[in-house]
Amino acid sequence: MRIAVTGSTGLIGSTLVRSLLADGHEVVRLVRHRSRTGPRPDGTTAIGWNPLLGQVDRAGLAGVEAVVHLAGAGVGDRRWTDAYKREIRESRVLGTETLAVAMAELDKPPRVFVSASAVGYYGQTGDRVIDEDSPAGDDFLAEVCVEWEASARPAERAGIRVVHPRTGLVLSAAGGAGDRLFPLFRLGLGGRLGDGRQYWSFISLADEVAALRFLIDRDDLSGAFNLSAPEPVTNAELTAALGRVLKRPTPFPVPEAALKTVLGELAVEVTGSHRVVPRRLLEAGFRFEHPDVDSAVRAAL
C-alpha cells in the first residue's frame, strides 16, 4: 500500500514509518522544506507541503491509498503565550484542512484519512470515566480538538473514510513527556505532580502504532477512537509504577503552585484529569500489548 505520513520525524510518526516499511509498504513523507524532497536513503519518498499556506504537492499524492496526519506544534514544547497558542491551533486546523481539500480534489482520492486528535477533546473530566460518546470540553485544548477534527470534513464530503485517533499520553523514553520524566526518575528525583490524583490516560508507543495501523486497515471503522490503554491511572499511580520498574524512590512531589509558576497556563493540563477509555477500539477487536501501566512503563524503558 502507498501511504502518506505527515509528522514523520516525530516520535509516533517515525515509529509508524519504520513499522510500515518493515511490512513492505511504500511511504510518502510530507515535508515543509523543498530541499528535503525526493527519494530518501531509507526507501521513502518526500514531497513538499506548506500547511499554513494551504499548499501540498498534489501530484506527489497520486496513487496514495491512505494518509496519516500527525503533524502539529507540540503542546508541551513551550510556555503557552498567546502567540504559541495561536501556533498550536493553526498548525493543526490549517494543516488538516490543507490535506482534506487536496485529497478531495484528486482524481482518485485515498480511501482513508487518519487525522490525529487528542484526549484533550473532552476537557478536564475529573474521575469520571470518558468514552467516545462523551461531549467535548470547553477549555483551550478541547476547543482546538473540536476545530481540528472539523477541518477534515472536506475529505469526508468527498467520500473518504475519516478516522480521528484521540491519543493520550504516549509513554516512551525516546520522546514526548517520557524523555523529560524518565531521566529524573532514574536519578531518584521523580515524584507526583500536584496532588497526584489527576487521571492520566496513557498508551505505550507500540500500542499507539499498532492502533493506527489497525485503523488504517479496517475499512469498516470511521469517526473518533480513543487511543489510550484500557486502565487509566492517576499521576500518583504512574509515579509509583516508574519507581517500581526503575527501583528508585519517588520522594519529591512538585506543588501545583510551582508548576503554575514554571509552566503558566500549561500547568492546567499537567494537573488536569482525563480518565479516558478506548471503548470503540476494544469493541472493534483491537488487543493491547501493554494494557496496564507497569507493562507500558517497562516497554517504554
Cell of 129: 470515566
Per-residue pLDDT, 80:
82
What is the residue-averaged pLDDT of the chain?
90
Cell of 188: 531518584
User: Average pLDDT, stretch 156-170?
Assistant: 96
> How far is it, in rounded angstroms, from Cα 22 to Cα 163?
23
Find the range with the poorest average confidence among 83-87, 127-131, 194-198.
Answer: 194-198
User: 167 pLDDT exceeds 80?
Assistant: yes
Identify the band that residue 100 occupies on the pLDDT scale cut at 50, 70 and 90.
Answer: very high
Per-residue pLDDT, 17:
98
Alpha carbon 257 to its chain centroid, in Å, reads 28
53 touches 80 (CB < 8 A)? no
Of all residues in the chain, the percent with pLDDT exceeding 70 is 91
Find the range with the poorest average confidence among 171-185, 209-223, 273-287.
Answer: 171-185
171 touches 146 (CB < 8 A)? no
Could you count the other beta carbons within 10 Å of the beta carbon of residue 21? Answer: 15
CA distances from 275 to 33, 83, 130, 180, 253 (A): 39, 30, 6, 22, 21
130 touches 277 (CB < 8 A)? yes
Name which of 168, 185, 273 is nearest 230 in CA terms.
168
User: Average pLDDT, stretch 270-277?
Assistant: 85
Question: Phi-psi bin for 38: left (phi > 0), alpha (psi -120 to 50), beta?
Answer: left
The strand pairing partners of 200, in sequence order, are 233
User: Average pLDDT, stretch 81-93?
Assistant: 94
Supply the pTM of this predicted model. Answer: 0.93
Interval 240-264: pLDDT, tens: 898 898 888 887 777 666 555 555 6
Domains of the chain, earliest start first: 2-171+202-228+277-287 (3.40.50.720)
Pairing of the two strands 161-167 and 117-118: parallel
